[in-house]
Structure 1
């Protein structure tokens, strides 16, 4: 399963898998505890495949950052997202050396690391581009 079915819901901890669409929104399942929740259209929802991190030259898609963390950690868990600010910044600059320090906050780094660790623990480690999107770009 790709990142296009994984959601971050504002005000809710962790990540969610999109299950089905409903009349008033959609049904999502927590990757942390497996509980299903109904999410209305009023919630602020982000799809992981649409998130990018600012660098000085471009915006790097979250999937590319996850790949870099995966390579750095040899497919294992990254550091804890609860590490001190200086340790998180040092780790993030190893993964993405040219990230924009003025626009990427420590809270963003914590989310990226926490999300990677959740996905890795669930065995969702295929961070490659979806096939149909890659073939569209070639045409």
Structure 2
């Protein structure tokens, strides 16, 4: 399973693994409970490799943010996404000190931390973008 196959579906909690294309959208499998469902063609579906975080410089891909969280926690789970907004902001500032505090909201931090913990629970230990994978194979 690769990061490019992991999807976030707007309006639905958790993360999903791409399974197959269907006539009405895509078939996905929840990383939380393993249940399969159909994400309709009208759903807003985003691959995690397409998402990035605002920083004071260039935006940083979510894969890089996950890598930094992994290094910061020593490969363990991050704090819960249910922590107080102050605790979440403090944790995120330690991991990504250059994040844009005006454009990155607490809800974004909650989602990022929650997704990281879901991926870790699903067995992810490396968070690479497709270009990084190709460069390492060459």
Deviation readout 1:5-52 (Å, 9 max, x if unpaired): 001111111000000001221100001111100111100111101100
Distance 2:72 2:133 in 1: 26
Distance 1:114 1:133 in 2: 24
Tell me how far 1:132 sits from its aligned partner.
Answer: 7.3
Distance 1:132 1:49 in 2: 11
Tell me how far 1:80 sits from its aligned partner.
Answer: 0.3
Structure 1 equivalent of residue 11 of structure 2:
11
Q: Residue 26 of structure 1 contacts residue 38 of structure 1 at CA under 8 Å; is this kept in 2?
A: yes
Tell me how far 1:84 sits from its aligned partner.
Answer: 0.2
Figure out how many residues of one structure are paired with residues of the other and give that number.
Answer: 136
Structure 1 equivalent of residue 34 of structure 2:
34
**Could you say what the CA RMSD is over the residues aligned between the two structures, in angstroms?**
1.5
In the alignment, is residue 121 of structure 1 matched against residue 124 of structure 2?
no
Deviation readout 1:106-139 (Å, 9 max, x if unpaired): 000000000000000111222123367644xx9x
Mapping for residues 48-67 of structure 1, pairs under 5 Å: 48-67=48-67
Distance 2:96 2:84 in 1: 18
- Residue segments in structure 1 that go unaligned for 5+ positions in a row: none
Structure 1 window deviating more from structure 2 (32-41 vs 124-133): it is 124-133
Structure 2 equivalent of residue 95 of structure 1:
95
Distance 2:111 2:133 in 1: 26
Q: Which runs of 4+ in 1 moved over 2 A?
A: 128-135
Q: Residue 10 of structure 1 contacts residue 44 of structure 1 at CA under 8 Å; is this kept in 2?
A: yes
SS at match of 2:93: helix
TM-score scaled by length of structure 1: 0.92
TM-score scaled by length of structure 2: 0.93
Distance 2:107 2:82 in 1: 10
- Residue segments in structure 2 that go unaligned for 5+ positions in a row: none
